[in-house]
Amino acid sequence: MFAYIEKIKEISNRLLKESTVDLIIGFRKGTVPMMNEPCFAKTPEAVDGLVWDSNCGINLANYLANRKEKIGIVSKGCDSRNIVTHIIENKIKRDQVVIIGVPCKGMIDRHKIEAMFDTEIEAVTEADGRLNIKGDGVDTAIDKKDVLQQNCTICTHRNPVIYDELAADLVEEQTDVDKYEDIRRIEDMTPEEKWEYFEDLLSTCIRCYACRNACPLCYCPTCFVDESQPQWVGKSQNPTDIRTFHFLRAYHCAGRCTDCGACERACPMGIKVRILTKKLEKDCLELFDWESGLTLEKRPPLDTYRPDDPDDFIK
């Protein structure tokens, strides 16, 4: 679909042939429209099946943690930031990964497209920033930029921040974006309004943990909600337990989240879980001038102490 699929394949084949890596982690074509499947490739045949298009929203850094092989990994901007985070957090060694950088112009939100039509979407193809959509009685084209995942519309790191190979020329970064309009709206609410907002936000959660499991940050060997000795959180549909899970998970991601959107993309119920992680992302930016996953040189604000750390909250 994009010209650089061929480039990704060429790089992958070379890395495998020269034994620079043991496997490539990338995407293969999905079985339903607007979906691709994360996969590994160890052979030229498997490399041949690799794809790259606007349906590669899942964050592949999620597939790196604790692997022992040498890995070539296809990485868009956010994936690369999570690889940086993984390296900082000792989940993978820098020299263990060959990062095949893929400059990105955003991934599409299939639920947005599905909601635009009364009929089922049967095929979506893309070219030059336009999406051709086909379904029963539907044959139309729309602008890709109108149906991007929300996090992609405000993304300011489309290019990989760290890479060893590059599958295409770097793209222009967005600069004039208002990232936190939605967060400010919630910050301005009264406590009662906030309560109601969060209650409604999480009301459809089925605790499938797709948000957590799609997240590269959530690699704990045993998540706090899965601890059984002692058991910290109840397992039922009790709203307090559901909120505890979401709020605590968000806090665990503070200063680490790259707003890659994998959580929201994975949620089967369409819950806007990024609202929680974005608030903490905003706090880290304002309090510590910190954006996660941009550099290997600095420790994240929450795992280091500096005498000039803000302490206004101590009254």
Partner 1 sequence: MKVIKIDKKNWAEGLKRLADKFPLFGPVQKDEFHIFKELHKDELPDLSLQNTRLSPKSVVYPQSETLFEYTLDEKQADHHILKEIDKDYLPRAVVGIRPCDAKAFLLVKRNFDTPEYKDPYWIKAYQAVTLIGYACNTPCSNCFCTTAGCGPFHEEGLDVLLVDAADHYLAQIMSEKGEKFITAAGWDTSAGANDLREQVQTLKQAAETKITARVSTDKLKDKDTTALFEASFWEDVAFACINCGTCTYACPTCWCFDIQDETFGSSGIRIRNWDSCMYPLFTHHGSGHNPRDMKMQRVRQRFMHKLKYYVDKYANGIQCVGCGRCIRLCPVNIDIRKVCDLMNSFES
Helix (H, G, I), strand (E, B) or coil at 123: strand
Taking CB under 8 A as the criterion, the residue among 266, 275, 276, 280 binding partner 1 is 266
Distance of alpha carbon 257 from alpha carbon 291, whole angstroms: 9
Q: Which two tokens stand for residue 63?
A: 């597939």
Q: How far is the CB of 206 from partner 1 (least distance, A)?
A: 5
Query: Among 125, 140, 204, 295, which residue sits at the site for partner 1 (rule: CB under 8 A)?
Result: 204
**Relative orientation angle of helices 239-252 and 274-288, to the nearest 10 degrees:** 40
**Pick 127 or 220: Cβ nearer partner 1:** 220
235 is a contact residue toward partner 1 (CB under 8 A) = yes
**Closer residue to partner 1 in complex, CB, 32/170:** 32
132 scored as a contact of partner 1 (CB under 8 A): no
User: CA angle, corner 173, sides to 9 and 5, nearest 5?
Assistant: 10
- Backbone φ and ψ for 28, nearest 5 degrees, come out as -120, 165
Q: Residue with structure tokens 């929300």?
A: 150
Are 15 and 24 within 8 A, CB to CB?
A: yes
Residues that contact partner 1, how many (by CB under 8 A)? 41
Minimum CB–partner distance for residue 109 and partner 1 (Å): 11
Nearest to 59 by CA among 259, 277, 267: 259
Q: Is 36 in the site for partner 1 (CB under 8 A)?
A: yes
Q: Per-residue string for binding with partner 1, 72-111, x by CB under 8 A? A: ---------------------------------------x
**Quick one: tokens of 177?**
């974006």
And the tokens for 262? 């994998």
Nearer to partner 1, 10 or 226 (CB): 226
CB of 205 vs partner 1, minimal distance in Å: 10
Q: Which of 213, 251, 296, 298 binds partner 1 (CB under 8 A)?
A: 213
Dist. CA 129–CA 133, nearest whole Å: 13
Interface residues with partner 1 (CB under 8 A) are: 30-32, 35-40, 58, 62-63, 111, 114-115, 120, 122, 136, 204, 206-210, 212-214, 222, 226, 228, 234-238, 265-270
